[in-house]
Amino acid sequence: MSGLKYEGYELYKACSRGSTELIRRCFFVVLVLIIFNASIAAGQPEETSFLPVLVYHHIQDPVKSDVSCTPEQFDLQIAALIQAGYTPITLSQARLFLAGALRNIDKPVLITFDDGYESLYFHAKPVAEKYRAPMTVFVITARIGRRLQFANYLNERQIKEMTDCGFFDFGSHTHDLHTDSVAIFDAFEPTDENPVLLLLQRDLRMSSQRFEIITGRRPEAIAWPYGKYNAAFSAIARKSGFKMHFTSASGYNEPGANPFAIKRIPVTSRDTPESVLKKASGRYR
């Protein structure tokens, strides 16, 4: 027992014997103890209760998709998160959070992007550097450096620059299976030799190899296209070295949550800084 606590205990016993002076001393010591313990508690960070994972896609002006936002909207939303006390974290920190081992961050948020559009190089990278905010991009690696449909995708040089700037992690969004692979899987008779599993295994290997060539490291996280996956897909991804699997299931992630079924919150063209803060705060269900 510490000296201060011991004295308080002794004075408490003495108080029971009725001395007015002792009562005053007892009251003073108890008051000091209350203030002392309160100051210790105030110095401790609050225990993190959940991790919001925000998912963006394209940054463009004018906006041409519901899953896009303008450069100005994106800047204001990230600024609002920072000003509200949120700390954007890396994939490694997110993995620590899920394991219950993240310390000294009481309002973490993981900012993610799907697909890997070139707009991220021009609009997300400056914002990440401006606010020193880590972000994660899940790339369809077969589309690297290409233009498909309505947009250009990040090229190898841009991915390398974003990696080297220190504020971007990259993960797989498959190599060339950005489709509803589960529906194709289900079209076959139930069997361990389902050809979609062999296709997925090959696809994930190609995705990892492409990243290794560009960044020198293999990705450890995957975001399932359209959030479509099943137990067999998850097993293939785990065997392929992916330690974190992101889904499209809405919700929040608590310490101890399954790292192979990480929930995310979508950000749309209709969102404002206020609505993004609401989503990050746990009020989106």
pTM metric for this prediction: 0.82
Q: What is the mean pLDDT of residues 39-64?
A: 75
Long-range (24+ apart) CB contacts under 8 A made by 192-200 are 194/232, 197/232, 197/233, 197/236, 200/233, 200/236, 200/237
Confidence (pLDDT) at 191: 72
Residue 27: pLDDT over 90:
no
Q: Distance from CA of residue 276 to its chain's centroid?
A: 14
CB atoms within 10 A of CB 2: 9
Any domain includes 47: no
Tokens of 218: 């293999």
pLDDT in tens, 127-136: 999 999 999 9
Domain count, the chain: 2
Q: Mark whether 59 and 38 lie in a shared domain.
A: no
Residue 37: pLDDT over 60:
no
Cα–Cα nearest to 178, from 147, 146, 223, 220: 223
pLDDT in tens, 201-257: 999 999 999 999 999 999 999 999 999 999 999 999 999 999 999 999 999 999 999
Domain around 12: 3-42
Q: Mark whether 58 and 120 lie in a shared domain.
A: yes
Q: What is the mean pLDDT of residues 112-116?
A: 98
pLDDT in tens, 173-203: 999 999 999 999 999 977 778 999 999 999 9
State phi, psi for 77 to the nearest 5 degrees. Answer: -70, -45
Any domain includes 285: no
